[in-house]
């Protein structure tokens, strides 16, 4: 799948292989109930049969629509106006492995693995169409759109910046090759925070998008997979089953503040208030109290059916992209514990 064939140290290769290995369905250990709604994406193999496909990796919810980066099945668009009965709108099978998605206006930007950046027109939810694409040197894991620029975590090729002023014909602006393996990122102001695998957190100054430069970094004990920045703190999920909290108030010299073990591989992170929501691989959804960043503690958890890879929390609902091929929709109760509902699978 990975297109760059430059020599890598054995340790880096092993980390990449293990990351891919753990996207398969694994046993879960905690179960506080069942999901409110679930949709399994299907493909007609013949007139008389259907079979599940895809492995949901990332999700963004806009209004009553969920856009799902569905691995080898591309983009799936789901109507979640009734979260107990999600319904598939339309889909577009991208040429690569859809790992994350961001929707801006009528365009969906896809981090498409070996097929880099894909731009899809979703103005007609039932019939999305390809608008443009851009080939990158590495393997696109994550992205963020800021204005006319797309910032992409591109594996061994670090941070890539692409100008999409003309979505039909994007152009390269700048790049910065990080020392590790870029898998997640978030842009805040003039800084891009990159979850860089064994090189942990890299902070890159993007005030000049044509010439980004390193501002600061910190290497912790874990391989960083994703992160979420709120104020002066970065919350980093790691391959070693841990959520780390890093103080970035001095971006030139970030420091570890606290950490807590999770029960799975912490693939996706979002922070709302004093709670960090973690898509925790075989550990499902983990909700962690981070009111004391020096000593975060587990608040509650929910066992998804497969391998929780990405998530978005909107109001009292948590949307979890699960590699079982499902989008899990969980309602958070008054105490923010995932509530039990009968599962509904729409085929």
Average pLDDT, the chain: 84
Does the pLDDT value for residue 340 go beyond 70? no
For the stretch 96-136, pLDDT in tens is 999 999 999 999 999 999 999 999 999 999 999 999 999 99
Strand positions, DSSP E, 63-99? 65-69, 75-79, 87-92
For the stretch 206-248, pLDDT in tens is 999 999 999 999 998 889 999 999 999 999 999 999 999 999 9
Q: How confident is the model at residue 325 (pLDDT cuts 50, 70, 90)?
A: low
Strand 37-40 relative to strand 345-346, pairing:
parallel
Q: Please report the pLDDT score of residue 221 as a whole number.
A: 84
Least Cα distance to 237 among 297, 292, 281, 189 occurs for 281
Q: Please report the pLDDT score of residue 335 as a whole number.
A: 64
For the stretch 156-171, pLDDT in tens is 999 999 999 999 999 9
Alpha-carbon span 158 to 139, nearest angstrom: 9
Does the pLDDT value for residue 343 go beyond 60? no
Q: How confident is the model at residue 37 (pLDDT cuts 50, 70, 90)?
A: low
Q: Where are the domains of the chain?
A: 36-346
Architecture of 36-346 per CATH?
A: 7 Propeller (2.130)
Does the pLDDT value for residue 27 go beyond 80? no
Residue reference for tokens 């600061």? 216
Identify the burial level of 126 via C-beta atoms within 10 angstroms of its C-beta, where 0-12 means exposed, 13-18 middle and 19 or more buried.
Answer: exposed
């Amino acid at each position: 799948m990975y297109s760059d064939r430059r020599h890598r140290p054995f340790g880096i290769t092993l980390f990449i292989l293990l990351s891919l290995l753990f996207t398969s369905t694994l046993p879960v250990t905690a179960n506080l109930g069942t999901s409110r709604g679930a949709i399994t994406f299907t493909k007609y193999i013949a007139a008389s049969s259907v079979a599940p496909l895809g492995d949901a990796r990332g999700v963004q919810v806009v209004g009553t629509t969920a856009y799902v980066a569905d691995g080898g099945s591309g983009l799936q668009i789901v109507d979640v106006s009734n979260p107990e009965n999600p319904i598939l709108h339309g889909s577009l099978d991208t040429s690569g492995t859809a790992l994350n998605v961001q929707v801006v206006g009528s365009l969906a930007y896809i981090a498409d693995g070996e097929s880099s950046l894909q731009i899809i027109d979703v103005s007609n939810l039932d019939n999305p169409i390809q608008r443009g694409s851009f080939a990158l040197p590495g393997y696109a894991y994550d992205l963020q759109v800021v204005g006319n620029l797309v910032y992409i975590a591109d594996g061994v090729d670090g941070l890539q910046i692409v100008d999409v002023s003309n979505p039909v014909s994007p152009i390269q602006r700048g790049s910065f090759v990080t020392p590790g393996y870029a898998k997640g990122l978030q842009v805040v102001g003039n800084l891009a925070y990159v979850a860089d695998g064994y090189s942990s957190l890299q902070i890159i100054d993007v005030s000049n998008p044509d010439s980004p430069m390193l501002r600061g970094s910190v290497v912790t004990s874990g391989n960083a997979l994703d992160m979420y920045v709120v104020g002066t703190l970065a919350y980093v999920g790691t391959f070693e089953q841990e959520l780390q909290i890093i103080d970035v108030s001095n971006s030139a010299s970030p420091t570890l503040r606290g950490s807590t073990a999770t029960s799975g591989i912490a693939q996706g992170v979002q922070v709302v208030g004093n709670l960090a929501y973690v898509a925790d691989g075989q550990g499902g959804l983990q909700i962690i109290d981070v009111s004391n960043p020096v000593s975060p503690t587990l608040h509650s958890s929910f066992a998804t059916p497969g391998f929780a890879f990405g998530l978005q929390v909107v109001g009292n609902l948590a949307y979890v992209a699960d590699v079982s091929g499902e989008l899990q929709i969980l309602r958070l109760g008054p105490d923010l514990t995932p509530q039990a509902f009968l599962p509904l699978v729409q085929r």
